[in-house]
Structure 1
Amino acid sequence: MKQCNLNLEEEGVKRKLQLQELEEIRNEAHENATIYKDKSKIFHDQQVSRKAFVVGEKVILYHSRLKLFPVEIQNLKMEKKFVVNGHRLKPYYEGFSVKKVEVIHLKDLIYLV
C-alpha cells in the first residue's frame, strides 16, 4: 500500500461517501417507483366501471371461478343460491321497445353522380 501512495483513512472515507450516495440513489428510485404505482392505480380505478346490482334484478353471468368480488345470486328456475365473482356479472336488459321501422328499397334510390 505504501508503494502505491494510498492513504487508507482517506480511501475509507471516500468509500463510505460512495456507499451513502448509492443508498440515496436507491431510496430515490424506490420513492419514484412508489409514486408511479400510486398514479397508475388511480388511473386504473378511474377506468373501471362500478356496477351496482339490486335484489331481484336479472343479470348475465359469464363462466367464473374467481371470487374477487363475491355476489350471491339465485337461479329463477331453481331455488339454489350460489356465490360468484361480481366482476363477471352484467345487467340483463329485456323488453326493449319495438319501434316502427321504415323500409327503403335500394331500387327506389336515385344516385347522384
Structure 2
Amino acid sequence: MVQAREKRLLYLHELEEFLYHAYNSAKMYKERTIHDKSIQPRDFEPGQLVLLYNSRLKIFGGKLKSKWSGPFEVVRVIAYGAVEQKLLNAERTFLVNGQRVKHYFGEVINPEKTSMDLKKA
C-alpha cells in the first residue's frame, strides 16, 4: 500500500512538472510571436540619414501634416537601440529611441541653393 501511494505521488509530481513546462513553453511562444511582429529590425551606422517620428503630433495632428521630421544624421549608435543624432547643419546632438527612427532614402535638398521660377502663364 505504501508503494502504491509513493508511485501515485511520483506520477502526480511528474504530471505537474510536465504541465508546468508545457504552460511556460506556450506562454513564451505567444509572447515571442506577438512581440516580434511589432518590432522591425533597424540597423543604423554613423553618417546615415534618418527620419524621426514626431510623437507630439498625435495631439495636434493635421490631415496633411507629416508624422516624420528630418532628415537627421546619425552620430553614433548606443547599446540597446539608442541612436544619437544631429541636424545636418548643427553641432548639438540628442539621443532618441531607435524604434522612433527610420532610414531616409531621399536626397538632401539645400533650401539656400534651391530656386523655383514662378512665371505667370
In the superposition, the TM-score normalised over structure 1's length comes to: 0.49
In the superposition, the TM-score normalised over structure 2's length comes to: 0.47
Higher helix share goes to which structure? 1
Larger Rg: 1
Higher strand share goes to which structure? 2
